[in-house]
Chains A and B, each alone.
Chain A
Amino acid sequence: MKYAYYPGCSLHSTGIEYDMSSQLVAGKLGVELKEIPDWNCCGASAGHTTNHLLGLALPARNLAIAEKEGLDVMAPCASCYNRMKTSEVAVKSSEETKAKVAEVTEMEYEGKVGVKSALEVFVKEAGLDAIKSLAVKNLGGMKIAAYYGCLLVRPVGIGFDDPENPMTMDDMVTALGGEAVDWPFKTECCGASLPTAREMVGLKLVYDILTMAQSAGAEAIVTACPLCFMNLDMRQNDLNKKVDNANFQLPVFYFTELMAIAFGEKPAKTGVRKHFVDTSSVLAKYNLK
């Protein structure tokens, strides 16, 4: 398997662990990743809510570059994935949109290649059997809440998993010997940029997700999006300071970090030491250090 790799802005900064662990997992699974040369930002929500056409064109430039190389794109970030998928579908389904997008990007994108999320490539395509056969460590029954966030399983009708009760990450946790807890906030929104732009509105969403994961008995959360990760990991400290009786210490992992650790990589190499919330206690408890 070979993919054009679209790290997106976060994986080169706040989400650096997701980049590190994705590369490790790709290596183990034999997935070849070739970074899209000179890629640009997908525009995220700011792009398409400011100018609809711009929101389609920014991802289309990256898709056009990948198409020249004849490769489908793998985008680990849920927001990048969602924006690229939206652009891909819009171009495929309307000649008028395709022409407009081409005029803006000054590049031809025919819709011959598309985008997949890292979860889709590393779990769905690689398969649970391959994952099991590569695992040299067992998660030992660690109770984990699989948190998909909102955009990874949307837009509805074109995604790779159920938009209300996705199971791809749960299945991965189970395959690696963990216990995927049953909980109702798998696809609740983390607020995206709201904890930055409108703090108390955004923090409530993060608070609710963390509280729900805890009451479901989770010892850790596993996610597949750098913005979800940042909100859930970095904002625990803010919540503990600002909300009465809040005392969160819930480790958050990228699914690729847990995979890489189970595949025998040293935890430090996967990026888990870079988190805000300590991960060493829960990893030590299950002999994963």
Chain B
Amino acid sequence: MQPINLTSALAAGKDFVEKVRKASGVDVKACYQCGKCSAGCPVAFAMDYTPRQVMRLLQLGLTEEALKSHSIWLCAQCETCSARCPRQLEPAKVMEALRIEAKKAGFETEDEIATFNEKFLRSVASNGRVFEAGLVIGFNLATVRPFKDAGVAPSMLVNGKLKLLPHKIKGRDAVRRMFEKAEKMEGEHK
């Protein structure tokens, strides 16, 4: 590992810490690193940095390391960390803010999860609701494993658990406009 000059990193990361505070309402500086979040995190075993370490990266001004971490994508948003934080800091909201920023910066370190979310939202934007069969097929094709979970399809069809065509709501144009507006407004408020 390369040595890091923390003095300059701290100064450089100040603005980003403030940006995270504005976006999430969480002041990461108040974290006292007890590790309660990581102890309860069900996905910590698969993360490159535990939730506590993600908070520490931000405190130290190591913004890019945080934005490039796999952790922010693996986070399942179960809010266990937020429920247990003795400082009421809600690390799950920090994870949310970091993922949004990472996407803007073009750091998508977990392709499959990013692709799944994209396909999910595209389905909502065009139909107003999620079309599950289309989502799974589109996701499997994009991630080049066309037959994942295909074995369950026949019984799901028989049981009415899988629709072959999407249900398009009447207000789908309104929903599509919501996507466009939210994107524009969140861009402006950066």
Contacts and interface: CB of A to CB of B under 8 A. Distances in A.
Contacts of A192: 76-78
Contacts of A276: 152, 155
A121 interface: no
Interface in B89-120: 95-97, 99-100, 103, 110, 112-113, 115-118, 120
Interface of B: 23, 42-43, 45-46, 74, 76-80, 82-83, 95-97, 99-100, 103, 110, 112-113, 115-118, 120-121, 124, 128-130, 132-133, 136, 139, 148-149, 152, 155-156, 159-163, 167, 169-172, 174-175, 177-179, 181-183, 185-186
B161 A104 contact: no
Contacts of B171: 38, 40, 61
A103 B181 contact: yes
Interface of A: 9-10, 12-16, 38-41, 43-54, 57-58, 61, 100, 103-106, 150-151, 154-156, 163-164, 187-189, 191-194, 196-199, 201, 204-205, 208, 234, 237, 273-274, 276
A38 B169 contact: yes
A204 B45 contact: yes
Contacts of B174: 61, 105-106
Contact of B77 (A15, A45, A51, A61): A45
Contact of B83 (A45, A103, A154, A205): A154
A150 B121 contact: no
A163 B83 CA distance: 7
A164 B124 contact: no
Nearest to B163: A13
Given A14-B156, A61-B178, A194-B76, A53 B186 contact: yes
A40 B175 contact: yes
A196 B76 contact: no
Contacts of A43: 121, 124
A187 B139 contact: no
A84 B179 CA distance: 17
Nearest to A20: B160
Contact of B113 (A151, A156, A188, A198): A198
B112 to A, nearest CB: 5
Contacts of B117: 45-46, 49-50
Nearest to B133: A13
B74 A9 contact: no
21 contacts: A14-B132, A16-B161, A38-B170, A41-B130, A45-B77, A49-B99, A51-B186, A52-B23, A52-B100, A58-B124, A58-B178, A61-B174, A104-B182, A150-B78, A154-B78, A155-B79, A193-B120, A194-B113, A196-B139, A197-B113, A198-B74
B160 A41 contact: no
A188 B43 CA distance: 11
A61 B78 CA distance: 24
Nearest to A189: B78
Nearest to A9: B130
Given A48-B77, A151-B79, A237-B152, 7 more contacts: A54-B178, A58-B175, A104-B185, A154-B79, A164-B83, A192-B78, A193-B120
A48 B76 contact: no
Interface hub of B78, B95, B97, B172 (most chain A Cβ within 10 A): B78
A106 B177 contact: yes
Contacts of A187: 80
A44 B182 CA distance: 16
B103 to A, nearest CB: 7
A186 to B, nearest CB: 12
B96 A48 contact: yes
A100 B112 CA distance: 31
A198 B76 CA distance: 11
Nearest to A275: B159
B157 to A, nearest CB: 11
Contacts of A191: 42-43, 76
Contacts of A197: 112-113, 115-116, 139
